[in-house]
Structure 1
Amino acid sequence: MSEVLNANSKNNSNQITSKVTFASLLVALGIIYGDIGTSPLYTFKAIIGTKEISEMLVLGGVSCVFWTLVLQTTVKYVWLTLKADNQGEGGIFSLYSLVRRFGKRLVIPTMIGAAALLADGMITPAISVTSAIEGLERIKGFEHIPVVPIVILVISLVFFVQRFGSHCVGKAFGPIMTIWFLLLMIMGILQIIEAPSVIQSLNPYYAYQLLTYYPNGFWILGAVFLCTTGAEALYSDLGHCGKNNIRITWGFVKLCLVINYLGQAAWLLNDAGAFLNERNPFFEMMPQWFLLAGITIATLAAIVAAQALISGSYTLINEAMNLNFWQRVGVKQPSDTKGQIYIPSVNAILWIGCILIILYFQDSSHMEAAYGLAITLAMITTTILLSYFLLFKLYWNKFLVGIFLTIFLMIEISFFIANVVKFKEGGYITVIAGGLFFFVMYSSYFARKINNSYTKFEDLGKFSKMIVALSNDQDIPKYATHLIYLTKADRREQIEDRIIKSIFDKKPKRADVYWFFHINRTNNPYTLDYEVSELVDDKVIKVVLNIGFKIQPKTELYFEKVIEDLIKNEELNQHLKNNASSKYNPTIDFKFIILQAYLSVDNVFSLNESVVLKSYFFLKQFAQKDQEAFGLDRNNVITEYVPLIYQPAKTFNLQRKK
């Protein structure tokens, strides 16, 4: 028997419009392009750095940026990666859900990519806002303004308002980014008119010349990479806008970005002089009278970029929890807007990380030196996962998949090698942050794997007669009318042995109906349905809840819906008349039993298992309680603590002294 909890739940993802309208395009501009859209604030400044300005450096730099946007962003992400559409959802965990059954080892690349994206969520808001605020130093009278306190204030306000939801200010994101991209285009055109010859730099020969003939030209790729760091967000935000809206708006965004980069190149060749001397070409192009307005628009665009990374981090952690990659933490819904969530613990971690990065680096030039190392790893892992998708889901020829892998791994490994030199310049900050995120994911995932491997399952049928006898034994006080256990057993006839022990405890738990509730996480984001099996008529019932990896479980509400359906269909005959706790209270009498595991001291481990398990149980102390994570009211939950003994210590010979 199979019922649907919510007839529309499996189609929720289809509510993400695939229609292209002016409003949908405006939303896409506001949500998708904050990171990549603000890259002109710092990319060319990083390419030039302290090097002497020359035609080879400037034109070669523009050429590298242009072809990076073409190959890495347009071809790989906008054309290919957006094909990996998991019921309207995107992102590394959605991609992993599509391909995980085709390769057991894909879990490690997925963790690396997700950890790198979280580390990126710390430095992107810091570098974007700092680069924008630094423009104030060009205004007369503000040359020595303290930038760091202003940046910390702006960043702190952005993180503070997250608890209220971004739906109100989010309505302004589309118009803000539209104005921003038009500003990029106009600024670029005004400079290109003065030096139209810069357009020739779109010829890939100039990129080739820079990388092969310019002294240490290859290492400039580390700065060039900054132009495409936001490409991963194009895929991660697929669920908010739909692929058609992303592909159409990308054409406009790419045009504005390229024109602005060409404009910066024109200014560098015409007006910059021999050295940049820590000036920012982006703000140097602006006329003095427009600086304050331009800086204001740039700051607003940087705030949008910060908001996009913060919201993306919430979504990433929420999916990680549902796929067992992260400890359970509190998730809140600050508004009625679909998909908008707020995770206080993640908000605090990212805020602290951003503030520490700002205080450590002090200015955007030093942040540029550290930026990009972690995100190259995320792009490499996406390429690996995408190759599986192309091979097993789109059924591409192995030869074509091999060409795809070869081309993009060569590009991304080149970027990675060029970024490795940033490690000692501050890149170690994001690598360490990403490493910590990876360790949490690794210990959370593999500790559960180890735990499951040592979990003993019993055939429920062997105990059915004893359960029925206990249920009918009037000498035992009734524990509850309906007794519900959450179980990991996905097979219809199986149950954990510790649940059997709990039922037949020293004080047996007598109930009229015994329910065994299994939550099955599906590869689809918004699945929500259930299956019911009556192992003993009206006595022992197994429920399998199929729930998408993007949905927060509300197990108690689901159980009440199941009971309601069974009574309505007259399938729970024994309790149609007497289903309440008493004649004075019509409420259904039920109790959930949660078996809370703890690590027994009576264990010996290998080194790997010891580190993983002890780390997992240490982190679990700070995680959300199971009843909250599964959506249970604590008044209806009993928690029992069960020792986990994986590998008992060796037997010993204890003798009494005479």
Structure 2
Amino acid sequence: MHSRSSDPPTGSKLAALTLGAVGVVYGDIGTSPLYALKEVFAHGRIDITPDNIYGILSLVVWTLTVIVSLKYVLLILRADNNGEGGLIAMLALASTAVKERPALRRRLLILGVFGTAIFFGDGVITPAISVLSAVEGLEVAAPGLHRYVVPVTLVVLTLLFAAQRFGTGGIGKFFGPVTAVWFIVLALLGVVHIVENPAVLAALSPHYALAFMWQHPGTAFVSLGAVVLCVTGAEALYADMGHFGKRPIRLAWFSLVMPALMINYFGQGAMLLQRPETVKNPFYEMAPEWALYPLIVLATLATVIASQALITAAFSVTKQAIQLGYFPRLRVTHTSVKETGQIYVPFVNWGLYTCIVLAVVTFGSSSKLASAYGIAVTTDMLITTTMTFFVIRYSWKYPWALCVAATGFFFLVDAMFFAANAIKILDGGWFPLAIGAAMFTLMMTWKQGRRLMSERLREEAIDLKSFLESVFISRRRGFRARRCSWRPSRAARRTRCCTTSSTTRCCTSRTCSSPSGTTRCRGSRSASAARSSRWATAAGR
């Protein structure tokens, strides 16, 4: 776990944090090669021609560069809230910066809460599509195993969620090494096919992406809805900043993750140029026949790790929402005596599991789930960019023109990806939106209810001075309790009505046996009736 010290980590500590970031932060984006290019060319929407392959590869490369490298790694990682990251941290920064603008602050709060709610929709789709896409390798190994894909996926997910209550302290140390091996395998698979067709590297030029969008605007717009799948999980870079720090996250991205992803995508493109028929599942078609089953096992482990990282993030976000008053109080269990961040929330765990099982059974394949995935990811990206603008403008105090220049381009890119996925709402995009809408309604209703309840209690509270005077009057009359209960209150110079009620019950009984911290008393109810009346009169003064 990252220690929030002023000195950046170096040496062995930096290496350990970087390896940990590879396993936790980049698990989701690292499994994108399983389905990203497959979905771009799925259902015959785009012809498999050399020009289209070069154009799509160029779009993938520059999407990774612009969205992940420039936006998240270089810009958004700067917006830390005392070392913490994530949308709630961004919300805290933005809302604090505009506290003198109540109308704007209220809109930002609503926007931030909606983005947090959409995160839970993303949390349902990510484990479902990741594990499904890994297990679908069985279809490539033996087409007759198709009917076992969904059952095996459900078994893997059931074991994953059943193990949550034991914590990840024991197996968590293996996440980094396993994911690092996964990225190395991604690079090796890609290198083999790039060597066979090195001309594919020409797609590094943005010229191919621009030419593809200019010559085929309609096709390019539709393809953006699938191209964005190559950056799913990018939000984890910011969300997990508090665990590892900026430097390890940046080092892991530029030294291992980004090169491995690009090499693998270029390898898939090189294979498609030579064998277009492999488009049904280009990732697994890259592997030699003898390595297929080991690759399926490794891919399944990688997707389980990616799912684990998101489940852990869901627990953390829930805890933060509870602390901010946006979520009902749930049982939160700490699964480690050393790390405070390792928690387990049973209600969230089994709620996510139920929704994920429903998604797997309803959609049945990663291709159908891909339509639902993009809308959740792009909504989160768009909200993060919007919040970043307000942080730069009102918290960092940069000039208006510089703020627009820093975030305007990213906003346009995010808006294009969002629009491309919005047309797929009826094809499955409604699923994460429905989950997000339900969570948003719950969070806003709970927050509003708590506010109304606090106002009502504040109205019913009595002046602290009058309350203390009434207590002293009762003591002079001989009414005395053997124990005192301490009740905190947010209102200065006021006391809660429950305090007066408890004191009334305790002080109207001459024989009080309440244990420390409680207000239960013995005594005849009829015998204390008259004294209760006198106490009520005294308290009312």
Q: Per the shorter chain, which TM-score range?
A: 0.7 to 0.9
Q: Matches of 2:292 and 2:519 in 1, distance apart?
A: 62
Q: Matches of 2:159 and 2:335 in 1, distance apart?
A: 17
Q: Matches of 1:16 and 1:485 in 2, distance apart?
A: 41
Task: Report if the CA contact (8 A) 1:16-1:239 is conserved.
Answer: no
SS at match of 1:99: helix
Q: Matches of 1:189 and 1:35 in 2, distance apart?
A: 22
**Deviation readout 1:501-556 (Å, 9 max, x if unpaired):** 42564x46489xxxxxxxxxxxxxxxxxxxxxxxxxxxxxxxxxxxxxxxxxxxxx
Tell which has more relative contact order, 1 or 2 (C-alpha 8 A, sep 6+): 2
Q: Which amino acid in structure 1 is aligned with residue 518 of structure 2?
A: K
**Deviation readout 1:454-475 (Å, 9 max, x if unpaired):** 43154423433223333x3463
What residue in structure 2 maps to residue 601 of structure 1?
none
What residue in structure 2 maps to residue 363 of structure 1?
365
| C-alpha spacing 1:384/1:469, structure 2 compared with 1 (3 Å) | farther
What residue in structure 2 maps to residue 64 of structure 1?
59
What residue in structure 2 maps to residue 139 of structure 1?
141
2:89 is aligned, of 90, 94, 97, to 94
| C-alpha spacing 1:17/1:306, structure 2 compared with 1 (3 Å) | farther
1:387 has 2:394 as partner: no
What residue in structure 1 maps to residue 529 of structure 2?
none
1:113 is aligned, of 93, 111, 115, to 115
Q: Which amino acid in structure 2 is aligned with residue 86 of structure 1?
A: N
Q: Which amino acid in structure 1 is aligned with residue 308 of structure 2?
A: Q
Task: Report if the CA contact (8 A) 1:13-1:89 is conserved.
Answer: no
Task: Report if the CA contact (8 A) 1:113-1:379 is conserved.
Answer: no
What residue in structure 2 maps to residue 183 of structure 1?
185
Q: Matches of 1:452 and 1:79 in 2, distance apart?
A: 42
What residue in structure 2 maps to residue 461 of structure 1?
465
| C-alpha spacing 1:486/1:169, structure 2 compared with 1 (3 Å) | same
What residue in structure 1 maps to residue 270 of structure 2?
266
Q: Which has the higher strand share?
A: 1
Superposition TM-score, scaled by structure 1 size: 0.72
Task: Report if the CA contact (8 A) 1:17-1:241 is conserved.
Answer: no
Q: Matches of 2:283 and 2:448 in 1, distance apart?
A: 47
- How do residues 260-409 of structure 1 correspond to structure 2 at under 5 angstroms? 260-273=264-277, 276=279, 279-336=280-337, 337-409=339-411
Q: CA deviation at 1:56?
A: 2.5
Q: Which amino acid in structure 1 is aligned with residue 48 of structure 2?
A: I
Q: Which has the higher helix share?
A: 2
What residue in structure 2 maps to residue 502 of structure 1?
501
Task: Report if the CA contact (8 A) 1:56-1:209 is conserved.
Answer: no
SS at match of 1:286: coil
Superposition TM-score, scaled by structure 2 size: 0.88
Q: Matches of 1:116 and 1:72 in 2, distance apart?
A: 19
SS at match of 1:386: helix
Q: CA deviation at 1:93?
A: 1.1
Would you say how many aligned residue pairs link Structure 1 and Structure 2? 501
1:589 is aligned, of 485, 506, 516, to 516
What residue in structure 2 maps to residue 25 of structure 1?
18
Q: Matches of 2:134 and 2:374 in 1, distance apart?
A: 19
Q: Matches of 1:27 and 1:314 in 2, distance apart?
A: 19
Task: Report if the CA contact (8 A) 1:135-1:283 is conserved.
Answer: yes
Q: CA deviation at 1:450?
A: 2.7
Q: Matches of 2:181 and 2:151 in 1, distance apart?
A: 27
Task: Report if the CA contact (8 A) 2:134-2:296 is conserved.
Answer: yes
Task: Report if the CA contact (8 A) 1:14-1:87 is conserved.
Answer: no
Q: CA deviation at 1:481?
A: 2.6
Q: C-alpha root-mean-square deviation of aligned residues, in Å?
A: 2.4
Task: Report if the CA contact (8 A) 2:334-2:340 is conserved.
Answer: no
Q: Matches of 1:49 and 1:592 in 2, distance apart?
A: 68
Q: CA deviation at 1:213?
A: 1.8
What residue in structure 1 maps to residue 425 of structure 2?
423
Q: Matches of 2:258 and 2:476 in 1, distance apart?
A: 74
Give the unaligned 5+ runs of structure 2: 99-104, 521-541
Q: Matches of 1:495 and 1:411 in 2, distance apart?
A: 53
Q: Matches of 2:476 and 2:276 in 1, distance apart?
A: 91
1:85 has 2:80 as partner: yes
What residue in structure 1 maps to residue 219 of structure 2?
216
What residue in structure 2 maps to residue 446 of structure 1?
448
- How do residues 495-574 of structure 1 correspond to structure 2 at under 5 angstroms? 495-496=495-496, 498-499=497-498, 501-502=500-501, 505=504, 507=505, 509=507
Task: Report if the CA contact (8 A) 2:464-2:495 is conserved.
Answer: yes
Q: Which amino acid in structure 1 is aligned with residue 383 of structure 2?
A: T
**Deviation readout 1:23-61 (Å, 9 max, x if unpaired):** 221111111111111001000001111222012221111
What residue in structure 2 maps to residue 233 of structure 1?
236
| C-alpha spacing 1:259/1:202, structure 2 compared with 1 (3 Å) | same
Task: Report if the CA contact (8 A) 2:487-2:499 is conserved.
Answer: no
| C-alpha spacing 1:25/1:152, structure 2 compared with 1 (3 Å) | same
**Deviation readout 1:263-292 (Å, 9 max, x if unpaired):** 11111111124x83xx21100111111101
Q: CA deviation at 1:342?
A: 0.3
| C-alpha spacing 1:238/1:462, structure 2 compared with 1 (3 Å) | same
| C-alpha spacing 1:12/1:255, structure 2 compared with 1 (3 Å) | closer
Q: Matches of 2:6 and 2:167 in 1, distance apart?
A: 21
What residue in structure 2 maps to residue 618 of structure 1?
none
Give the unaligned 5+ runs of structure 1: 1-10, 512-580, 594-658
1:169 is aligned, of 154, 171, 192, to 171
1:74 has 2:94 as partner: no
Q: Which amino acid in structure 1 is aligned with residue 49 of structure 2?
A: S
Instruction: Give the fraction of aligned pairs with identical amino acids, expressed as a percent.
Output: 35
1:46 has 2:39 as partner: yes
Q: CA deviation at 1:139?
A: 1.6
SS at match of 2:344: coil
Q: Matches of 1:195 and 1:344 in 2, distance apart?
A: 51
Q: CA deviation at 1:175?
A: 0.7
- How do residues 238-249 of structure 1 correspond to structure 2 at under 5 angstroms? 238-249=241-252
SS at match of 2:518: strand
Task: Report if the CA contact (8 A) 1:99-1:385 is conserved.
Answer: yes
Task: Report if the CA contact (8 A) 2:8-2:247 is conserved.
Answer: no
| C-alpha spacing 1:122/1:464, structure 2 compared with 1 (3 Å) | same
